[in-house]
Amino acid sequence: MNDDWFLTDAESAAVAQETLDGGEVVAHYVKDTGKLSWRHTPFPALGEHAWLRTVAYENTSGKTQDVTGVRMYAALNLPDAALEWNPRAFYMARCDGGLLVAPAYKGVTEHYTFRKRDGAVGHDIHACWRLALGESALIEAQAVWVRDVEDGASLDVRAWGEVFREEAQRWYDSIGLHVPDGMPDWARNMILYEYNAGGHIDSRFSDVGGFQRLAEQTDYPAALGITAVWLQAVHQHKTPPNPVEGGSQFPGGTPPSAIHHAPQ
């Protein structure tokens, strides 16, 4: 559900744009199947040249529609020599003249992935709405911003790495994600190891040993430099493990009779 998809049949789409108070810009694309609205809101928390982009879709087709996702992309027109930084959740690049450009997604409940497509960068937001006539789906919000980095044109790659990290922290601060006050030093600097006390996936959980076995293995993660252990969720096994094949003794998993505590 993006501009390209929605405007495939340009003659049947009515396009309208309006500028609201405070510099907010809204673009509406209307077809017989629905109405797509892009809203661009100034986002001063990231500077003068920063916007939050929100997309809404309203079903006007007269029948129920299933909407499975939204694509939110920005064509940044980057030079070939642009220095790029692409963590999982957002993207940053250094352009000519010391400019930094970035899109990032402020997800709350949606699952999303970062993508690069044909020179544009952005996010595929995965969701599933079943919309009756007149119902709407709202996705918010993607940020897109440009920052003029002081002396950016003369900084080397290592220095730009620090700029990218500082900018990432500015992004997190702007959406309320930050390290809580009073967090102890050991938590700030810990090296975390996630551990399943029931066994390991590679062994199909045939090495089930429980907490006693885990207690006997603490020297190993310590030798790796691990300073803290995160235990996965602990559940009661409904059936005994199979020491040969691993996992449940039943080929198809735990039988319904065991789940419902019925007689075996």
Exposure string for 148-157, b = 16+ CB within 10 A, e = fewer:
ebeebeebee
**169 membership: H or E segment, kind and range:** helix 157-174
One domain, residues 30 and 152? yes
Where is the domain boundary, 174, 208, 238? 174
Please say if the pLDDT value at position 3 is more than 70.
no
Please say if the pLDDT value at position 115 is more than 70.
yes
Where is the domain boundary, 174, 198, 225? 174
Query: Which of 258, 180, 196, 200 is CA-nearest to residue 233?
Result: 196
pLDDT tier at 255, thresholds 50, 70, 90: very low
Q: What is the pLDDT of residues 63-101, one digit of tens each?
A: 998 888 888 888 887 877 788 988 777 889 998 778 899
Q: How many domains does the chain have?
A: 2
Phi, psi torsion values for 101, nearest 5 degrees = -120, 145
As a whole number of angstroms, the distance between CA 115 and CA 86 comes to: 10
As a whole number of angstroms, the distance between CA 121 and CA 76 comes to: 7
- Residue 234 lies inside a defined structural domain of this protein: yes
Phi, psi torsion values for 11, nearest 5 degrees = -70, -25
Write down the pLDDT at residue 160: 93
Where is the domain boundary, 174, 193, 216? 174
- Residue 147 lies inside a defined structural domain of this protein: yes
- Residue 264 lies inside a defined structural domain of this protein: no
Q: What is the pLDDT of residues 138-167, one digit of tens each?
A: 887 899 999 999 888 899 999 999 999 999
One domain, residues 124 and 234? no
- Residue 8 lies inside a defined structural domain of this protein: yes
What is the Cβ-side half-sphere exposure of residue 94, based on CA atoms within 13 angstroms?
23
Domain that holds residue 35: 3-174
Residue type for 130, please? R
Write down the pLDDT at residue 126: 82
State the sign of the Cα–Cα–Cα–Cα dihedral 247, 248, 249, 250.
negative
pTM, two decimals, is 0.64
Angle among Cα 114, 120, 125 to the nearest 5 degrees reads 35
One domain, residues 220 and 153? no
Collect all residues with Cβ–Cβ distance below 8 Å to 156 and sequence separation of at least 6: none
Mean pLDDT of the chain: 77
Write down the pLDDT at residue 97: 79
One domain, residues 119 and 235? no
- Residue 180 lies inside a defined structural domain of this protein: no
One domain, residues 107 and 222? no
Q: Tell me the two tokens of residue 115.
A: 């993508």
- Residue 40 lies inside a defined structural domain of this protein: yes
One domain, residues 151 and 237? no
Write down the pLDDT at residue 246: 46
Write down the pLDDT at residue 13: 54
One domain, residues 155 and 221? no
Q: Output DSSP code: residue 8.
A: S
One domain, residues 232 and 139? no
One domain, residues 22 and 95? yes
- Residue 179 lies inside a defined structural domain of this protein: no
One domain, residues 110 and 12? yes
